[in-house]
Amino acid sequence: MKRSEINARMRAAVAFFDAHCFRLPPYAYWSPAEWRAKGHEADEIRRCGMGWDLTDFGSGDFERVGLLLFTLRNGVPGEERSTRPYAEKVMIVGVGQVTPWHYHASKQEDIINRGGGDLVIDLSHADAGRRLLDTPVSVSVDGTRRIVPARGRVVLRPGESITLYQGLAHTFQAAHAPALVGEVSSVNDDRTDNYFIEPVGRFPAIEPDAEPLYLLCNEYPEAAAGAAAAPAAGAAANETGPGRPPG
């Protein structure tokens, strides 16, 4: 993906979040220069992979196959007691924009339609060879048990949610309008716990045709040596207010 395209989609995402009265945390708007100046006070964000995440899954066609996410909170696999044992993401899913078939071996998640269009999820069991099986699927939709056929479909309207357990393969896209989608889960590890049915690239190869607007969660620099400590809680934010992009 071109960096200029990533920048444009980040700007559009901020506008979409604003339209749905959803606010991102302040670090969402740290510039690359601000990140380079950050010391160990920002290590939790770095280690837990929190922040912007945008991918076309190697398709070269983000609008057809792709996803924009922001990880709001997360722990570190194997260190849940010292970090946190849960994660939360917010996603923007486009109309007809597919997230390819995949499952998670460790992560259990709730997917919540927070607003906008419908979220269309197809479900299937998969075997150890990453082949979809022809067996019915039992899932919980807002606490109500539902049985769907293999590769069957569940449509979540705004306010509805589904629980996806470990090993349950799924693919999704929005219908009628882009969907604001939430995810609440056990600790998330996108580097090792995404098992795609067909091989894809989880993180995009980036063509640097522009400077980054904001860094992706896998691009953070190491802590700056001798960087100043974080400002005390309650310190004045810039004039745009906390959690808002400048200018």
**pLDDT tens, position by position, 159-170:** 999 999 999 999
Q: Is residue 192 one of the residues assigned to a domain?
A: yes
Q: What CA–CA distance (Å, rounded) separates 70 from 125? A: 27
Count how many domains the chain has: 1
CATH number, domain containing residue 160: 2.60.120.10
Q: Is residue 212 one of the residues assigned to a domain?
A: no
Residue 216 forms beta bridges with which residues? 52
Q: What CA–CA distance (Å, rounded) separates 78 from 11? A: 35
Q: Is residue 11 one of the residues assigned to a domain?
A: yes
Is residue 213 within 8 A of residue 198, CB to CB? The reply is: no
- Structural domain of residue 176, as residue ranges? 3-196
Q: Is residue 209 one of the residues assigned to a domain?
A: no
Q: Is residue 133 one of the residues assigned to a domain?
A: yes
Bridge-based pairing state of the strands 161-164 and 109-125: antiparallel
Structure tokens at 63: 């609008």
Least confident window among 3-7, 203-207, 222-226: 222-226
Confidence tier at 61 by pLDDT (50, 70, 90): very high
The confidence score (pLDDT) of residue 201 equals: 87
Q: Is residue 221 one of the residues assigned to a domain?
A: no
Q: Is residue 135 one of the residues assigned to a domain?
A: yes
Q: Is residue 66 one of the residues assigned to a domain?
A: yes
- The overall pTM is greater than 0.95: no
